[in-house]
């Protein structure tokens, strides 16, 4: 069926007025133009939609059925138009953000500020490690992600917004605590508490150790930053973590940084999305907000 929206509008007008003349007046068309549209629609449908008895026209059974479809198509179209109009505005719609678990230590605060400025935006936040984040991106689930350096094989638009230094932490009673210029070779017998496979922090740590030809002792493998920090506090070993994850523990002296030669590993946080993704006005505004917040944090430090 080759039916146009215009034909459905004309059909609806004729069906309401049961008059070609009045439908033509309403639509600012000529009466023959209206009859032509109805004829074409009847041709596409393959059935007569109106019948004339005496001077009066009536909907046929097919016309009656077609009318309810025509109205629901037009209602759907109006709803689509309304939703598109809303999405053009910054203060509406949904925003799906996925973040690396390590980003969670500051991203929730960023989101809280953004949510206060845009109270009608519905925000969903997915917190997961780097590997899971990449598979979400591949499945085109989030609008935006906040993550470590994106891999080259995924076609992303990524902009750095904040430094992410990785430091080595120990419990305060560790013999090397407070010592300057610790060499990696001094850590040869030490146990390391490491993040789960799939963690970007872990990949960066392993890359750094490999570059330094340092083979670390396998300690415990723990899921997530909190478990790693608690493991180090409990004396299970040393760990490499993002400085963002331990700000409180360092201030409270529950953990201490080790001043190891070559550290911190300087990484950066990126705000990224799939190339070709049509970002809504809300998503664009969140991306700009993150970039601004990063610039302000740099100025303040």
In angstroms, the CA 15 to CA 34 distance is: 12
Question: Measured from the CB of residue 27, what is the shortest distance to ligand PGA in angstroms?
Answer: 59
Interacting residues toward ligand PGA by CB under 6 A: 100-102, 129-130, 147-148, 195, 199-201
Cβ at position 185, least distance to ligand PGA in Å: 26
300 CB contacts (<8 Å, ≥6 apart)?
none
- The smaller minimum CB distance to ligand PGA, of residues 129 and 282, is found at 129
Minimum CB separation of residue 16 from ligand PGA in Å reads 60
Residue 147 beta carbon to ligand PGA: minimum distance, rounded to whole angstroms: 6
Question: How far is Cα 96 from Cα 172, in angstroms, rounded to an integer?
Answer: 40
Q: Between 118 and 273, whose beta carbon lies closer to ligand PGA? A: 273
Q: In the chain, which ranges are E strands?
A: 50-53, 56-59, 94-100, 122-128, 144-147, 156-170, 191-195, 217-222, 239-242, 256-258, 265-274
Q: Please, which residue, 66 or 194, has the CB nearer to ligand PGA?
A: 194
Categorise residue 54: left if φ over 0, alpha if ψ from -120 to 50, beta otherwise: left
Which lies closer to ligand PGA via its Cβ, residue 37 or residue 129?
Answer: 129
Q: Which is nearer to ligand PGA, 129 or 280 (CB)?
A: 129
Q: Which is nearer to ligand PGA, 183 or 207 (CB)?
A: 207
Q: Cβ of residue 71: shortest distance to ligand PGA, in angstroms?
A: 51
CA distances from 234 to 170, 173, 191, 250 (A): 10, 11, 13, 15
Tell me which residue has its CB nearest to ligand PGA.
200
Shortest CB 231 distance to ligand PGA, Å: 15
| Helix, strand, coil percent content, the chain, rounded in steps of 5 | 50, 25, 30
In the three-class reduction of DSSP (H, G, I as helix; E, B as strand; rest coil), residue 219 is classed as strand
d(CA 198, CA 179): 32
Q: Which residue's CB is nearer to ligand PGA, number 101 or number 282? A: 101
| Ordered DSSP codes for 193-248 | EEEPTT-HHHHHHHHHHHHTT---EEEEEESSHHHHHHHHHTTS-BEEEEGGGSHH
Work out how close the CB of 97 gets to ligand PGA at its nearest, in angstroms, rounded to a whole number. 14
Measured distance CA(212)–CA(229) in Å, rounded: 24
| Least gap, CB of 242 to ligand PGA (angstroms) | 7
**Euclidean distance between CA atoms 13 and 20, whole angstroms:** 8
Q: Toward ligand PGA, which CB reaches closer, 118 or 229?
A: 229
């Amino acid at each position: 069926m080759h039916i146009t929206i215009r034909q459905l509008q004309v059909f609806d007008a004729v069906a309401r007025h049961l008059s070609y003349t009045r439908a033509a007046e309403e639509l600012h068309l000529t009466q023959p133009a209206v009859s032509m549209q109805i004829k074409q629609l009847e041709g596409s449908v393959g059935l007569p939609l109106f019948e004339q008895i005496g001077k009066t026209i009536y909907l046929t059974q097919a016309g009656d059925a077609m009318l309810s479809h025509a109205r629901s198509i037009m209602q759907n179209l109006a709803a689509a138009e309304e939703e598109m109009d809303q999405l053009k505005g910054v203060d509406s719609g949904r925003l799906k953000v996925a973040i690396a678990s390590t980003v969670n230590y500051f991203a929730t605060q960023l989101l809280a500020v953004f949510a206060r400025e845009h109270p009608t935006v519905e925000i969903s936040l997915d917190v997961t490690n780097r590997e899971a984040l990449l598979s979400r991106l591949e499945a085109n689930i989030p609008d935006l992600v906040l993550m470590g350096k994106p891999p080259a094989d995924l076609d992303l638009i990524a902009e750095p917004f904040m430094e992410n230094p990785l430091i080595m932490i120990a419990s305060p009673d560790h013999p090397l605590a407070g010592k300057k210029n610790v060499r990696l070779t001094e850590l040869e017998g030490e146990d390391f508490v490491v993040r789960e496979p799939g963690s970007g922090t872990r990949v960066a740590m392993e890359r750094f150790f490999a570059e330094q030809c340092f083979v670390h002792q396998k300690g415990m493998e723990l899921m997530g930053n909190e478990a790693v920090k608690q493991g180090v506090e409990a004396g299970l070993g040393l760990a490499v973590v993002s400085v963002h994850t331990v700000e409180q523990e360092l201030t409270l002296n529950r953990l201490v940084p080790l001043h190891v030669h070559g550290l911190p590993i300087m990484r950066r946080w990126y705000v990224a999305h799939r190339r070709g993704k049509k970002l809504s006005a809300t998503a664009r505004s969140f991306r700009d907000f993150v970039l601004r917040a990063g610039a302000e944090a740099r100025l303040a430090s």
